[in-house]
Structure 1
Amino acid sequence: MKQNSAAVEALLSQHRDQVLAEWQAELTAGGGNRALASEVRETGEVLTAILAGVRASGNTENFEDTPWTPVRDVLERLSASRAAQGSAAADTSRFVLALKKPLFAGLQRSFKDNPAAMVEATWEISTLIDHMAQFTVTTYQRSREEVISRQQMELLELSTPVVKLWDGVLAVPMIGTLDSGRTQLVMETLLQRIVETGSGLAIIDITGVPTVDTLVAQHLLKTVTAIRLMGADAIISGIRPQIAQTIVHLGIDLEGITTKATLADALKLAMKRAGFVVTRAKGADAFGTGSVGGLA
C-alpha cells in the first residue's frame, strides 16, 4: 500500500469518530444548523466504504476500478434517495465535498514533519473526493431523469383513458399533442380493452388535440389500422372546421374512415350501427331529466 493511502487508511480506522464529528460539523455549518439525522447515518456508511476501498485497492486512485464499487454503490443510493426527495444536485455534492476539510486536517497531523508528503497526500485525497462528488451529481441527474420519465408515463396513462360508452362501444378522448410514444400507448391500451370487453367499435375523439398535421394524421391512421386488425371498427370524432381544412390542405387521405364533428354524433352513429334507436320519452324536458325510453 502506498504511503499516502496507508495514512488515509490509518486516519479512517484509528480516528474514525473524530473525522465523522468534524464532517458532520461541516455539514451542519453549511446547512444552516438544520437537523442532520439522515446525514449522520450516511456519513458513517460513506467512511466505511472509503476505508474498504483503500484497503482493497491499496491506493486512493482509479475511482472507477472494482475495489471502489462499495463507495460507488453507497453514493448511488444516497443520490437516488435525495433525487426522489426533491433535493438539489448541489446539496448532494456539498455532502461529499464537506469531507475534504476533516481529511485534510487529519493528513496534516499525520504528515506534520513531512510537508512534501502532506501536499502529495492532500492532492490525492482531494482528487478522490472530487471524483466522488462528480459521481453523485451524475447519478443524481440520472435518477431525476428516471423520476421525470416515470411521471411522464403516468401522466400519459392518465391523459389517454379508454372509456366504455356503451355495450360494445369504447372511446379514447385525446388531449394534447399526439406523438409516436403516445400513439403506441394508446394503441396498446385500446387494443387490450377491445380484447377484454369484446367491443366492436372504438371512437377516437380528437377534440382536445390542438392541431393536426401529417404526422398526427399518420398516427391516427396507424391506430385505426390496428383496431381493424383486431376485428373492430373505428370512428374519429372532433373534426372541427379548422381541422377539416388542415386535412384537406395537407392532402391527407382519410377515405374509408368514418369521421364525425362531435363525440355525441359519433356515439349516436355507434348506437345506430349496434341496432339501438334512441327516442325521447313523453314528458322528458330539454335536459333529459325524464325517463328514457325507446332503446331497442
Structure 2
Amino acid sequence: MPPVAMQSLAQILTDHADAVRSAWITAVADELRGRTSRGELEREQADIFDALVEGLQRGGERIGDEPFDQLRGILSDVSSARARLGFTPRETAVGVFALKEGLYGLSAQGVTTDVTPLLRLVDELGLFTFESFAAAREAIIVEQSEQLLELSTPVVKIWEGVVAVPLVGTLDSARTQVVMETLLNTLVETGSAHAIIDITGVPAVDTQVAQHLLKTVVAARLMGAECTISGIRPQIAQTIVALGIEFGDIRTRATLADALVDALRSDRRTAATVLA
C-alpha cells in the first residue's frame, strides 16, 4: 500500500482513537483477568498506539520498516517484562492481537476505508511480540541455569589456607568450567595453598568425569595450590580401576575429613621445612 494510504489509516486511527482503544483495552483486561492493573495496561497501550500511528504517518507498512523502530522497541520491552513476571505467551501476545477488536468496530462508526492492511500489520505485531517473548524467556532460562550452576558449585573455606569444593550431581563440561572459575577466584581471594575437591555427592565417575576433575586439579596447580580429591567410595574406586583411569600423582582420600587432615599435616611439614 502506498505511503499516502498508510497515512490515511493513521488519520483514521487518530480520529477514532477513543473507540478503538476502549474496545482494545476491554478485550485485553478480560483476557488477563486482573493480572496487571488497568492503569498499567492503559500506559502500555498508549505507548504502542502512539508509536503505531507515528510509524503509519511516516509511511511504514511492515513491522520491519524503519518507521516502526520505536514500536518494535516498545513491544520488545513489554515482552521482556511479561516474561520476567511469569506471563504466558498467549497473555503477552493478546495485548497486541486484541487491537483488532477496536478495528472491527470502525465500520459501525461509518468508516468505509478498507482497514485490511492494518489488520495484517497487527498480525505482524502480534507475531513479533510472541517472538520477542520467546527470546526473552530463553534468556531468562539461560541466566537462571547459570545461577543454579554457581549455587551448585560452592567453594568454602574450611580452614586457614584450605578451601573445599563439595560436588553434588553430574559433572559436565559447563559445570566444570564454573568449578574452575569459582575455585581459582577463591584461591586468589583467600591465598589458600590447598584445595579439596570432594566428590562424595557425585553418583558415578566415568572417563569423562575423570577428565573434568583432572582439568580442575591442573588449573588449581597452575595457581600454586595442591589439590586432593576426596569422597572416593569403594564403588567409585572399583569403577576407576576397571576403566583404567589414572590420576597420576594427584592425592586421593576416602573422605573429606581425611583430606582435611592430610592438608593440615602437609601445611605443618611445609612450615617446618621453611623454618629449618
> Can you give the 5+ residue segments of structure 1 that lack an aligned partner in the other structure?
277-296
> Can you give the 5+ residue segments of structure 2 that lack an aligned partner in the other structure?
270-276
Residue 76 of structure 1 deviates from its aligned partner by: 0.5
Residue 4 of structure 1 deviates from its aligned partner by: 4.1
Per the alignment, do residues 132 and 265 of structure 1 end up closer, same or farther by CA in structure 2, a change over 3 Å counting?
same
State the distance in 2 between where 1:180 and 1:129 align.
44
**Paired residue for 2:21?**
20
**Paired residue for 1:147?**
140
Residue 107 of structure 1 deviates from its aligned partner by: 5.6
State the distance in 1 between where 2:229 and 2:167 align.
11
Per the alignment, do residues 33 and 220 of structure 1 end up closer, same or farther by CA in structure 2, a change over 3 Å counting?
closer
**Paired residue for 2:260?**
267
Q: CA RMSD in A?
A: 1.8
State the distance in 2 between where 1:74 and 1:185 align.
35
Residue 22 of structure 1 deviates from its aligned partner by: 1.6
Helix, strand or coil for the counterpart of 1:199? coil
**Paired residue for 2:71?**
71
Residue 78 of structure 1 deviates from its aligned partner by: 0.5
State the distance in 1 between where 2:266 and 2:238 align.
28
Per the alignment, do residues 4 and 109 of structure 1 end up closer, same or farther by CA in structure 2, a change over 3 Å counting?
farther
**Paired residue for 1:279?**
none
Helix, strand or coil for the counterpart of 1:275? helix
Percent identity between matched residues is 46
**Paired residue for 1:167?**
160
**Paired residue for 2:40?**
38
**Paired residue for 2:49?**
47
State the distance in 1 between where 2:184 and 2:218 align.
11
**Does the alignment pair 1:7 with 2:11?**
no
**Paired residue for 2:210?**
217
State the distance in 2 between where 1:153 and 1:135 align.
27
State the distance in 2 between where 1:160 and 1:32 align.
41
**Paired residue for 2:80?**
80
1:205-250: CA deviation from partner (whole Å, max 9, x where unpaired)? 0111112121111110000111111111100001111111221222
**Paired residue for 1:176?**
169
Contact kept, 8 Å, 2:93 with 2:127, in 1: the verdict is yes
Q: Please list, as runs of the form range in 1=range in 2, the aligned pairs for 1:249-288 lying within 5 A after superposition.
A: 249-275=242-268
Per the alignment, do residues 33 and 266 of structure 1 end up closer, same or farther by CA in structure 2, a change over 3 Å counting?
closer
State the distance in 1 between where 2:184 and 2:260 align.
19
The alignment's TM-score, normalised by the length of structure 1, stands at 0.85
Residue 181 of structure 1 deviates from its aligned partner by: 1.4
Residue 5 of structure 1 deviates from its aligned partner by: 1.6
Residue 86 of structure 1 deviates from its aligned partner by: 0.5
Residue 28 of structure 1 deviates from its aligned partner by: 2.7
**Does the alignment pair 1:208 with 2:209?**
no
Residue 68 of structure 1 deviates from its aligned partner by: 1.0
State the distance in 2 between where 1:32 and 1:190 align.
48
Contact kept, 8 Å, 2:20 with 2:101, in 1: the verdict is no
Residue 104 of structure 1 deviates from its aligned partner by: 2.8
Aligned counterpart in structure 2 of residue 198 of structure 1, from 191, 197, 206: 191
State the distance in 2 between where 1:13 and 1:94 align.
22
Paired letter, 2:47: E
